[in-house]
Amino acid sequence: MNKNLEIAIKASIAAGQEIMNVYNSDFDVEFKEDKSPLTEADKKANAIINSFLIPTEIPIISEENKQLDYSERKNWKLCWIVDPLDGTKEFIKRNGEFTVNIALVAHGKPILGVIYVPVTKELYVGNVQKETAFKTVIENTSYNFDKIVEKSKKLQPLNKVQDVIRIVGSRSHMSKETLDFMEKVKIQRKKESKIISKGSSLKFCILAEGLADIYPRFAPTMEWDTAAGQAICNASGIKVIALDTKNELCYNKENLLNPWFICNYEGEF
């Protein structure tokens, strides 16, 4: 297995274990300047991930790290993009729909992605260059990488729309524009649609698994919300297309805010 991928997997699982320690306790909630919530789990998971990634000597963009000016970042050929706890609102609600997201980006494109779901111990992995994406369950802490691959299930997205269009949307951030788009798809396709609500980067995961047809996101996201999910989707044949450029999302931009995007199989919509 790719060495950086091994490191990302180890980091995500270790962070997930610490997140569960906080999840199963009484924890306080702070609020950042942008009014988004922050917990001890976010901070502890970030510290653990940093401890794994810093020795790689590849620079890190993390939601919970201090953001460097673009003048320092613009010449990076490689970087990690990390959300130590994606879905903090879901974590606070204790609904289990939160993840650890770690991606490796080369020249603005995600090439490796790991998403770990601490509550279910599900691990989603994508290697874009090898065009491989898989899912497995980490049953205990004494895992080894051969067993991870051996017990994994290849991610198989749907390559054509079914009779009912399954549209995945945010559990906590559903916008009017997203709802309008869902209605437009229903009319254009002359098919019934079903909305599947999911928190965090799980929306990318269920698309890569073939459990949904399309994920439209017409609301704000940051690069750390999408990089790992895009790597997993790209590795399984799914595109993540920006509405403004009609190109795939790119990373380590001057502004780390993503444009609105649509995620689906090979531009089917």
CATH code of the domain in which 80 resides = 3.30.540.10
Number of domains in the chain: 2
Same domain? For 172 and 104 the reply is: no
Out of 99, 119, 154, a domain closes at 154
Same domain? For 92 and 221 the reply is: no
Would 252 be classed as within a structural domain? yes
Same domain? For 214 and 243 the reply is: yes
Same domain? For 79 and 38 the reply is: yes
Same domain? For 27 and 119 the reply is: yes
The 10s digit of each residue's pLDDT in 105-117 is 999 999 999 999 9
Would 242 be classed as within a structural domain? yes
Do the annotations mark residue 5 as ligand-binding? no
Residue 244 sits in a domain of what CATH number?
Answer: 3.40.190.80
Do the annotations mark residue 131 as ligand-binding? no
Angle CA 234–108–237, to nearest 5: 10
Among 8-22, 46-60, 165-179, where is mean pLDDT lowest? Answer: 165-179
Same domain? For 191 and 92 the reply is: no
| Phi/psi of residue 114, nearest 5 degrees | -130, 130
Q: Look up the pTM and report it.
A: 0.95
Same domain? For 137 and 47 the reply is: yes
Do the annotations mark residue 87 as ligand-binding? yes
Would 107 be classed as within a structural domain? yes
Same domain? For 103 and 179 the reply is: no
Euclidean distance between CA atoms 27 and 87, whole angstroms: 16
Q: Could you give the count of Cα atoms lying within 13 Å of 221 in the half-sphere of its Cβ?
A: 33
Would 159 be classed as within a structural domain? no
206-225: average pLDDT? 94
60-72: average pLDDT? 97
Share of the chain above pLDDT 70, in %: 97
Same domain? For 142 and 24 the reply is: yes
Look at residue 269 in the predicted model and tell me its pLDDT: 54
Do the annotations mark residue 86 as ligand-binding? yes
Same domain? For 146 and 169 the reply is: no
Domain range for residue 30? Answer: 3-154
Q: Which residues of 157-192 are buried (b: 16+ CB within 10 A; e: fewer)?
A: bbeebeeebbbbbbbeeebeebeebbeebbeeeeee
Would 146 be classed as within a structural domain? yes
Same domain? For 127 and 236 the reply is: no
Out of 131, 154, 177, a domain closes at 154
Would 134 be classed as within a structural domain? yes
Do the annotations mark residue 83 as ligand-binding? yes
* Token pair 């919530």: residue: 37
pLDDT at 266 over 70: no
Among the listed residues 137, 19, 33, the one whose alpha carbon sits nearest the alpha carbon of residue 86: 19
Contact call for residues 226 and 201 (beta carbons, < 8 A): yes
pLDDT at 27 over 90: yes
Same domain? For 140 and 182 the reply is: no
pLDDT at 72 over 80: yes
